[in-house]
Amino acid sequence: MEMVKDLPRLFDFTETPRNGTYSNGMTDQDVISVDQFDRAKLSYIFHRSREMIEMVERQGSCDLLKGRVLACLFYEPSTRTSASFIAAMERLGGSVIPITQGVQFSSVSKGESLPDTIRTLEQYADVIVLRHPEAGAAQVAADAASVPVINAGDGTGEHPTQGLLDLFTIRQELGAIDKLKISMVGDLRYGRTVHSLTRLLMQYDVSYRFVSPEILRLPMALMNELIDKKMKVRETHDVADVIENADVLYITRVQKERFSDPTQYEEVKDCYKITPGIMQRAKQRMALMHPLPRVGEIDPAVDSDPRAAYFRQVKNGMYVRMALLAAVLGKA
């Protein structure tokens, strides 16, 4: 290529190197499943998350990820996950390619495959966050990518970053995780947030209480994992059986979009509702959580109860995702 003589350089590359110096075991790694996180990694991410809280409260934003680009690719609707990843990247000084509301207007509508879309986006981005309706899609994307892929929910499979923020919220609300009684209520069959949190909690000394209609019970494969690990587990159909002893009451929406038979959905959609009356029977020190959105599972009158942690849970999502982004990009 012919060079232009005596043209001054636009950029000075003698400053701080682009790559970080942290040996966190997560740099350049995909985040596909909660199974990637042992207690040491969880403690590490939670420590960094608390640092992110302090930074945001003190100064709002920083330049930790200045010059880095995140591609947000969402094939399913999202409010909290997409917005929190975008906010996380921007508060750390990075930039975002947001394909969160219009996948139908991208080349996907022309029949482009997921691997080809991923290979395209990695030409522009340093990390890709993917939500997809098919279980296993995040691993397909990771196999195609040369940059880290973070699973933001793959069908009925997993939602690892939601599991991490849920676990972080439990610790923030109650101070510890071991010895707690965790009650999960609602759609345990299709609820990927339940699946991820259940797997993470296997690393702790907790008791599980699963509350659901018969057709929405926890998948047998996951139940067998709990049994094989000798975890303490009980199942019931009635919230009244668990409310008085629950340290954490984790409520989930019955997901209409997961039902092939609308009649089945209508039969179970209103099976549980947490009201101020039910909360009167709960412990004074406990956490009521929900991954949101809610469509009637928690009466809005409960929102003012100091034990209602679900909007604090939402905010924690940004901090945990800030820590994850910094970690996989070698800056934390």
Which positions are catalytic?
Answer: 80-81, 110, 131, 159
Tokens of residue 139, six digits: 């691993």
Residues 6+ apart with CB under 8 A from 107: 117, 120
Q: Would you call 279 exposed, middle or buried from its count of C-beta atoms within 10 A (0-12, 13-18, 19+)?
A: buried
